[in-house]
Amino acid sequence: MAKTPPLPPKGTRDFLPRDLVRRNRVFGLLRETFARYGFEPLETPAVEHTAVLEGKYGEEGDRLLFRVLKRGQDLEAAEREVAALAEEERTPAALARSFADMAMRYDLTVPFARVVAARLAEIALPFRRYQMQPVWRADRPQRGRYREFYQCDVDCVGSTSMTVEAEMLTMIEEVFTALGFAEFTMRVNHRGLLDALMDGVDVPTERRSAALGAMDKLDKIGADGVREELGKLGLTDTRVDRLMEVLGLSGTPGEVAGALRPLVGEDAGGQAALREVGEVFDALAMMGVSADHYAFDVSLVRGLAYYTGVIAETVVTRPKIGSLAGGGRYDRLIGQYLGRELPCVGFSFGVERMLDAMAELDLLAGEATTTTQALVTLFARETVGASFALAGELRRAGVRTEVYTDVKELRPQLAFANKKGIPLVVILGTDEAARGEVTLRDLRAGQQRSVRRDEVVVVAQAMLGES
Amino acid sequence: MAKTPPLPPKGTRDFLPRDLVRRNRVFGLLRETFARYGFEPLETPAVEHTAVLEGKYGEEGDRLLFRVLKRGQDLEAAEREVAALAEEERTPAALARSFADMAMRYDLTVPFARVVAARLAEIALPFRRYQMQPVWRADRPQRGRYREFYQCDVDCVGSTSMTVEAEMLTMIEEVFTALGFAEFTMRVNHRGLLDALMDGVDVPTERRSAALGAMDKLDKIGADGVREELGKLGLTDTRVDRLMEVLGLSGTPGEVAGALRPLVGEDAGGQAALREVGEVFDALAMMGVSADHYAFDVSLVRGLAYYTGVIAETVVTRPKIGSLAGGGRYDRLIGQYLGRELPCVGFSFGVERMLDAMAELDLLAGEATTTTQALVTLFARETVGASFALAGELRRAGVRTEVYTDVKELRPQLAFANKKGIPLVVILGTDEAARGEVTLRDLRAGQQRSVRRDEVVVVAQAMLGES
């Protein structure tokens, strides 16, 4: 036992209070904002039947599932089954299928689709939900990539109205602003518009996915890079020129839409896409979203297979951090267990990346390192009761108060408060008690003052509020 | 895919918003109270190395671990290892050991001990932490017993002072009172006192554990039952009489202590125990804990192997629901990875049982079924902008507001609010808009009133506050 190094498994993390104060501030702000926009919480188990998760995330995803070993007789039966296989059939994939009956949650979308199917009768549609829970992936851990990490999804299932997209983007603007990100843009596009453009430029069906993939890289490889990739796909120069022209469009959403209209021409899907994306932009303006915070960006593609309508992505533009949230309309996925379509719009916040970015931008500096606001000292056996009574008063007034555990000199008690980052120390010594006074020391400011016993709570609150 | 019934694995649960509103109220009250008493949050991964968990919970515990299957080459290697075993050696326990490298968290104490060892340099002692996270056990599911359930532990590591026990009991009283439990008792005893009593009554060492086990059942099988069990252990009638006399002690803590003193006699451990438990009762009185809410209960035993000092348990007495929280001092467990003792006091709240008990006692009735407070209707394309603007105002004032997604008649929008349990509907029709008015309908009271547009936020807040 003593030989096991007491570390958590590779790619997972222990969170000490100082970490959680920061994480919980961000998570709390997200939850509070979601609730204020009418999104309700949903939670699903950490584990799902393997049949629910297998085949949903591609071959790579199947390989990255953390699977839960069968137990007892089921495990013995699985071993007999495996023993009967030829040796070359005992691949990791085959072993994994035989030995496991459950797997750990890999994302929040598949469990959401499952719950919607299982509990549809109890759910009032349209259903706006958020879910913020850990997921597990057996990825190679690296800087910023973990095997256990939180995902945070907001979805609205059951409506085809563009008000859904518009409200989500408004909420996303509020979240990033409240977290202190100054310069960010919500890039908005429409899957149907991309289809229409591919039609309009006559890109052959089998090359569309690759062409869109190349366009999606504009941010990373620049216009010349995209041009080169499109050329390699065997598209004619004329086609490449027309696609590059589209990618070069800029201006207000209205201007971009105006420039796209002739390219879309009579294509019904393209016209519908322009109308829908236009409705979203109109609504954003009506809701008072700053025009600096959104743009019509024809180069935005995102996960192609998935989306069916408006797509969007929030990128921090200065410093250039990249995408921290993204999503869009995907009308065909959520109804999969019901065997029918259920319209759905969903966005995912990259909460772990957001936390990393906030640390990088110093947006978490000055943040408290503990939830505790005040330490009440214990000086002498005779004053323990007085310390307890004072702590009780502070707590009833909402001040988060710890009483030091042992009767000791002041020095170690101050050192303790300093190490934890408790801002206020309430010193209740025998002399002070005799005078009916209490000393309040602000460890951040390095200042202290003596106040009358009956003023302590009010002064403590003021000192804590001043910082 | 369509053939998989969309249910969560056996013994696990999906939580819809109506469930989470209630769970989160209880969890939130716990977190808020813990923080107010200076306890800080800690979180550990869902998975641990199997070596960390194996052998910590007895043979039964090892069997109940959910283990995580090895992956890739490790899994193939494990299969080759198993294939080399004789068939009778391929027991479920051996297979589990070979095929898994991690297991899911079984409780919160072992991970806490691991983190304390791993991060001791960063932790300021005494360290008060709480942890509220799910654990997983492959138990046979039954009413009130799940395979995934939350545990909620508070611990203070690093002090031998009885102020720790006293403050925890004070906090526990506050929690149960705030949750609405009217009649409950914190039964308090001391492990050292039980040892001294066994000495005093000359119970042979090898029968002590069984004798204490019998005494612990007083609540369930009554005095006659305990007497019978003690008799079956081969204790003489005199010894049984003396133990029954101890069990029959009642009165104030001071009275019980007075009666115990002659029985303890010169036993140093017993005297120390009486002194410690006395300090705790004195402190509880000083902290203003109601004398109805605690008792010196010599029949309280709890998990013997574990505890080294004061032990306690909170039982709801009317209706007779039993223990909902328990714990005590266990000075030898937390330091196990460090190879030394670290004094520790810990209590565990049975949060799932508490939720069940609250439902049974109707303490959750009248609780909202959604976090959303107001639904703003969408009536006509022309008023969509006005609805958004009003929703924005309500949200800025802190009212959790959903805007209906689609332009529709009033009826389905009201039905939607009713099904979800949204208390207030904000009706913004074309006629109303023309008059500069808005109708507020309180669905709980079945009343509505029209107010001027500029009064909406204030009146809505008042209507929501009235309930």
- Judging contacts by C-beta atoms under 8 Å, the chain B residues touching residue A161 are 405-407
Nearest chain A CA: its distance from B236 CA (Å): 42
Of A20, A92, A370, the CB nearest to B43: A20
What is the share, in percent, of chain B residues with pLDDT greater than 90? Answer: 81
Position B2 scores a pLDDT of 46
3-state class percentages of chain A: helix first, strand second, coil last, to nearest 5: 50, 20, 30
Domain B17-46+109-360 classification at class level: alpha beta
Position B347 scores a pLDDT of 97
Model confidence band, residue B148 (pLDDT cutoffs 50, 70, 90)? very high
**Tokens representing residue B80 in the block:** 């080759």
B268 near A CB under 8 A? no
User: What integer is the mean pLDDT of B47-67?
Assistant: 94
Position A467 scores a pLDDT of 46
Per-residue model confidence as pLDDT tens digits over B316-333: 988 888 899 999 999 888
**Closest Cα to residue A370, out of A342, A411, A401, A392?**
A401
Q: How far apart are CA A449 and CA A455, in angstroms?
A: 12
Amino acid at B403: V
A380 near B CB under 8 A? no
Cβ–Cβ gap B100/A370 under 8 Å: no
Position A1 scores a pLDDT of 43
Optimal mutation site among A40, A76, A169, A177, interface B, most CBs of chain B within 10 A? A40
Lowest mean pLDDT among A340-354, A388-402, A426-440: A426-440
Query: Helices in B65-161 by DSSP H: which ranges?
Result: 72-83, 92-99, 109-118
Q: Which of residues 148-207 of B touch A (CB under 8 A)?
A: 148, 156, 158-161, 163-164, 166-167
Q: Please state the φ and ψ torsions of residue B103, each to the nearest 5 degrees.
A: -140, 155
Optimal mutation site among B30, B32, B64, B69, interface A, most CBs of chain A within 10 A? B69
A466 has pLDDT over 60: no
- The topology under which CATH files domain A19-46+107-360 is BirA Bifunctional Protein; domain 2 (3.30.930)
Q: At what angle do helices B268-286 and B191-200 cross, to 10 degrees?
A: 140
- Judging contacts by C-beta atoms under 8 Å, the chain A residues touching residue B16 are 42, 115, 119, 122-123
Query: Could you tell me whether strands A310-318 and A183-190 are parallel, antiparallel, or unpaired per DSSP bridges?
Result: antiparallel
Optimal mutation site among A14, A105, A136, A332, interface B, most CBs of chain B within 10 A? A14
Cβ–Cβ gap A401/B38 under 8 Å: yes
Nearest chain B CA: its distance from A180 CA (Å): 17
**Tokens representing residue B206 in the block:** 């090898």
Position A181 scores a pLDDT of 94
Of A46, A79, A407, the CB nearest to B82: A79
Q: Which part of chain B is CATH 3.40.50.800?
A: 374-466
- Judging contacts by C-beta atoms under 8 Å, the chain A residues touching residue B164 are 405
Per-residue model confidence as pLDDT tens digits over B366-424: 778 999 999 999 999 989 999 999 999 999 999 999 999 999 999 999 999 999 999 99
Per-residue model confidence as pLDDT tens digits over A25-34: 999 999 999 9
A442 has pLDDT over 60: yes
Cβ–Cβ gap B163/A403 under 8 Å: yes
Of A15, A48, A134, the CB nearest to B46: A134
Cβ–Cβ gap B392/A79 under 8 Å: no
Among A182-196, A217-231, B353-367, which range has the highest average pLDDT?
A182-196
B296 has pLDDT over 80: yes
- Judging contacts by C-beta atoms under 8 Å, the chain A residues touching residue B68 are 66-69, 104
Position A54 scores a pLDDT of 94
Chain A residue whose CA is closest to B68: A68
3-state class percentages of chain B: helix first, strand second, coil last, to nearest 5: 50, 20, 30
Per-residue model confidence as pLDDT tens digits over A347-358: 999 999 999 999
Position B144 scores a pLDDT of 85
Lowest mean pLDDT among A348-352, B133-137, B432-436: B432-436
Q: Please state the φ and ψ torsions of residue B253, each to the nearest 5 degrees.
A: -55, -40
Interface A–B counts its CB contacts (< 8 A) at: 316
User: What integer is the mean pLDDT of B112-141?
Assistant: 96
Model confidence band, residue A318 (pLDDT cutoffs 50, 70, 90)? confident
Of A95, A288, A371, the CB nearest to B40: A371
Of B79, B136, B167, the CB nearest to A90: B79
First to last CA, chain A: 46
Cβ–Cβ gap A16/B119 under 8 Å: yes
User: What integer is the mean pLDDT of A369-397?
Assistant: 94
Q: How far apart are CA A171 and CA A174, in angstroms?
A: 5
B466 has pLDDT over 60: no
Please state the pTM of the whole predicted model. Answer: 0.94
User: What integer is the mean pLDDT of A145-174?
Assistant: 97
Per-residue model confidence as pLDDT tens digits over A410-419: 999 999 999 9
Q: How far apart are CA A347 and CA A345, in angstroms?
A: 7
**Closest Cα to residue B75, out of A90, A193, A231, A232?**
A90
Name the average pLDDT for chain A.
93
B420 near A CB under 8 A? yes
Burial bucket for residue B265 (CB in 10 Å: 0-12, 13-18, 19+):
exposed
* CATH 3.40.50.800, domain A374-466, yes or no: yes
Position B91 scores a pLDDT of 94
Optimal mutation site among B59, B99, B457, interface A, most CBs of chain A within 10 A? B99
For A10, the 3-state DSSP assignment is coil
Q: Which of residues 393-412 of B touch A (CB under 8 A)?
A: 395, 398-407
Chain A residue whose CA is closest to B140: A71
Q: Which helix (H) or strand (E) holds A150?
A: strand A148-157
Taking the C-alpha atoms of A194, A200, A201 and A202 in order, what is their torsion angle to the nearest 10 degrees?
100
Of B24, B115, B420, the CB nearest to A41: B24
Q: How far apart are CA B76 and CA A462, in angstroms?
A: 64
What is the share, in percent, of chain A residues with pLDDT greater than 70? Answer: 98
User: What integer is the mean pLDDT of B436-442?
Assistant: 95
Extended beta strands in B81-173, E state: 100-104, 127-136, 148-157
A175 has pLDDT over 70: yes
Position A320 scores a pLDDT of 83
ipTM for the complex? 0.94
Position B1 scores a pLDDT of 43
Position B220 scores a pLDDT of 87
Query: Could you tell me whether strands B127-136 and B40-41 are parallel, antiparallel, or unpaired per DSSP bridges?
Result: parallel
B4 has pLDDT over 60: no
B119 near A CB under 8 A? yes
Cβ–Cβ gap B43/A14 under 8 Å: yes
| Count, residues in chain A | 467
Query: Could you tell me whether strands A294-296 and A183-190 are parallel, antiparallel, or unpaired per DSSP bridges?
Result: parallel
| Count, residues in chain B | 467
Model confidence band, residue A5 (pLDDT cutoffs 50, 70, 90)? low
Model confidence band, residue A367 (pLDDT cutoffs 50, 70, 90)? confident
Name the average pLDDT for chain B.
93
In terms of pLDDT, which residue wins out, A112 or B337?
A112
- Judging contacts by C-beta atoms under 8 Å, the chain A residues touching residue B405 are 126, 156, 158-159, 161, 163-164
What is the share, in percent, of chain A residues with pLDDT greater than 90? Answer: 81
Cβ–Cβ gap A370/B40 under 8 Å: yes
For A347, the 3-state DSSP assignment is strand
Optimal mutation site among B76, B130, B371, B377, interface A, most CBs of chain A within 10 A? B371
Q: Which of residues 79-98 of A touch B (CB under 8 A)?
A: 79, 82-83, 90-92, 95-96
Q: Is the dihedral of CA A23, A25, A28, A32 positive or negative?
A: negative
Position A4 scores a pLDDT of 55
User: What integer is the mean pLDDT of B451-460?
Assistant: 96
Per-residue model confidence as pLDDT tens digits over B258-275: 999 998 999 999 999 999
Position B5 scores a pLDDT of 66
B126 has pLDDT over 60: yes
